[in-house]
């Protein structure tokens, strides 16, 4: 037995969306055996655009029962039946959230007539309820009212189950291990099945082929499934529009991040929150104490009169100072990596020259600090980052040329990069931006061993 459902609501999302009308038909596969239709008082304002679509306004539902008052009847009316709806995840999840708000559970097996129609009637230009009814000669009255749409869905479902292959398709959709009810209604399962469990960038596209969302993931297939399970309003709307998903492999997370940044700036996808142009918040600076010892430290840029390097977090500042301490044998105490200690004893940094113990003079120590400052001022001009490739036979490279991000590429593990020209030959050129600078700086601070300096090599 099936319960075929349609609802009208106060909006398009899931969470916070309230039902204004619900219609349920009990259907045994041959005929309608019972019906329940009622307006519902959402106990909140109905937006003007919803009234324009459905004709339901605040006055219409003023004397209607609340969902609390009809919940038990809805539960009993649909008990032990298969929940059928057009774009079932929307109707089902709105109802489920209404029950959850009352502290009640609502769990039913689901069937989606959009996905069923795509499988049973392939090749149609649109699978919206109105267009399907037009294509299949199904009468549709009172469009955008719960009873009219629910009754049309009954007729559509009846037409579906009368086809020869319907039983097998419906059985596969109801299989407990099937992901059909989870996938966006306009997305073919084959598209999802070909997604790899690898690192890269993915693109959600709408029916016009336009990119509406770009994301990156260490496991593309798993991350995309996460979008389908997410019931936030934004994710529901994204999935409703998605008809195709493409992807590009990156090999490493760094390359995936850079690819994602470039794609967002190229496509300006509808559902991507614009990448925040996050400005560096912290800076490395120096000062001399009353004993004449030079200190290196970090603080917020807005309180510093000057600084040598800018970073995006205190963690990046500390990691970079640790690197300076190791390279130039500086003291963690005087680099503000250890506070309230008389002598340094940092677990990641070899013992310093002894300035904190009085065994190294201030002038000798200051010369090392000045070398570190000169190093920070000079910066890295040309260098290469080598990371994992898209398969075991290749590496990925990221090139910084003249201090700017130049692009990424992929090379055979047998190839050796000796010069800038060697790297450029494999490069997919990219634009430098504040976002790419942030990504690369954060990476190099945390992974100095993967940085290959190219200055001084024969060009």
In the chain the domains, ranked by start, together with CATH numbers, are 2-174 (3.30.420.10), 189-267 (3.40.1440.10), 282-378 (no CATH), 383-453 (no CATH)
In this structure, are residues 112 and 172 in contact, taking their beta carbons and an 8 Å threshold? no
Render pLDDT for 291-304 as a digit per residue (tens, 0 to 9).
999 999 999 988 99
Indicate the SS3 state at residue 31. Answer: coil
In this structure, are residues 269 and 213 in contact, taking their beta carbons and an 8 Å threshold? yes
**Element containing residue 189 per DSSP (H, E):** helix 189-193
Q: How big is the chain, counted in residues?
A: 459
pLDDT of residue 150: 96
Residue 228 in tokens: 């389908």
pLDDT of residue 186: 84
- Average pLDDT on 231-253 reads 89
How does DSSP classify residue 30?
Answer: S
- Distance CA(363)–CA(345), nearest Å, equals 22
- Distance CA(375)–CA(227), nearest Å, equals 45
Residue 408 in tokens: 């990424």
**Residue listed under structure tokens 């800076």:** 283
In this structure, are residues 322 and 298 in contact, taking their beta carbons and an 8 Å threshold? no
- Distance CA(327)–CA(321), nearest Å, equals 10
Render pLDDT for 316-369 as a digit per residue (tens, 0 to 9).
899 889 889 988 999 999 999 988 888 888 877 877 889 999 999 999 999 999
In this structure, are residues 317 and 330 in contact, taking their beta carbons and an 8 Å threshold? no
Render pLDDT for 185-241 as a digit per residue (tens, 0 to 9).
888 888 998 999 999 999 999 989 999 999 999 999 999 988 887 767 788 889 889
- Average pLDDT on 259-265 reads 93
Non-local (6+) Cβ contacts of 187 within 8 A are 239, 242, 243, 244, 245
- Distance CA(112)–CA(192), nearest Å, equals 17
Neighbours of 274 (CB within 10 A): 9
In this structure, are residues 3 and 22 in contact, taking their beta carbons and an 8 Å threshold? no
Render pLDDT for 348-357 as a digit per residue (tens, 0 to 9).
787 788 999 9
In this structure, are residues 352 and 346 in contact, taking their beta carbons and an 8 Å threshold? no
Pairing of strands 282-288, 244-249: unpaired
Q: Spell out the alpha helix ranges (H) of 55-165.
A: 67-78, 88-101, 113-120, 129-135, 146-161
Confidence of residue 13 (pLDDT cuts 50, 70, 90): low
pLDDT of residue 457: 43
């Amino acid at each position: 037995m099936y319960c075929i459902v349609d609802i009208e609501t106060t909006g398009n999302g899931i969470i916070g969306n309230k039902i204004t009308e619900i219609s349920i038909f009990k259907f045994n596969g041959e005929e309608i055996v019972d019906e329940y239709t009622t307006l519902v008082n959402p106990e909140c304002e109905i937006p003007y655009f919803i009234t324009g679509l459905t004709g339901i306004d605040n006055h219409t539902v003023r004397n209607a029962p609340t969902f609390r008052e009809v919940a038990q009847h809805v539960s009993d009316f649909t008990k032990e039946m298969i929940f059928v709806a057009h774009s079932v995840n929307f109707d089902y999840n709105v109802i489920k959230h209404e029950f959850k708000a009352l502290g009640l559970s609502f769990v039913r097996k689901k069937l989606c007539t959009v996905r069923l129609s795509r499988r049973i009637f392939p090749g149609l230009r649109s699978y919206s309820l109105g267009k399907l009814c037009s294509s299949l000669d199904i009468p549709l009255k009172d469009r955008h009212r719960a009873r009219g749409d629910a009754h049309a869905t009954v007729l559509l479902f009846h037409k579906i189950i009368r086809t020869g292959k319907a039983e097998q398709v419906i059985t596969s959709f109801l299989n407990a291990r099937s992901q059909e009810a989870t996938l966006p209604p306009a997305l073919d399962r084959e598209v999802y099945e070909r997604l790899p469990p690898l690192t890269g960038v993915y693109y959600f596209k709408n029916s016009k082929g336009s990119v509406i969302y770009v994301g990156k993931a260490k496991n593309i297939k798993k991350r995309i499934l996460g979008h389908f399970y997410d019931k936030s309003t934004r994710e529901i709307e994204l999935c409703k529009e998605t008809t195709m998903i493409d992807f590009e492999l990156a090999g490493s997370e760094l390359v995936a991040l850079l690819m994602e940044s470039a794609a967002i700036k190229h496509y300006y996808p509808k559902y991507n929150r614009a990448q925040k142009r996050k400005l560096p918040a912290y800076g490395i600076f120096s000062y001399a104490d009353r004993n004449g010892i030079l200190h290196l430290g970090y603080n917020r840029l807005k309180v510093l009169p000057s600084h040598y390097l800018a970073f995006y977090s205190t963690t990046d500042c500390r990691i970079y100072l640790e690197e300076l301490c190791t390279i130039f044998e500086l003291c963690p105490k005087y680099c503000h990596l250890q506070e309230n200690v008389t002598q340094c004893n940092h677990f990641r940094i070899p013992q310093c020259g002894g300035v904190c113990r009085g065994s190294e003079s201030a002038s000798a120590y200051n010369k090392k600090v000045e070398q570190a400052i000169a190093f920070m001022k000079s910066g890295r001009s040309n260098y290469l980052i080598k990371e994992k490739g898209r398969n075991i036979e290749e590496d990925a490279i990221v090139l910084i040329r003249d201090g700017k991000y130049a692009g990424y590429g992929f090379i055979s593990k047998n190839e050796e990069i000796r010069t800038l020209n060697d790297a450029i030959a494999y490069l997919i050129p990219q634009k430098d931006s504040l976002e790419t600078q942030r990504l690369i700086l954060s990476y190099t601070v945390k992974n100095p061993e993967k940085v290959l300096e190219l200055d001084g090599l024969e060009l």
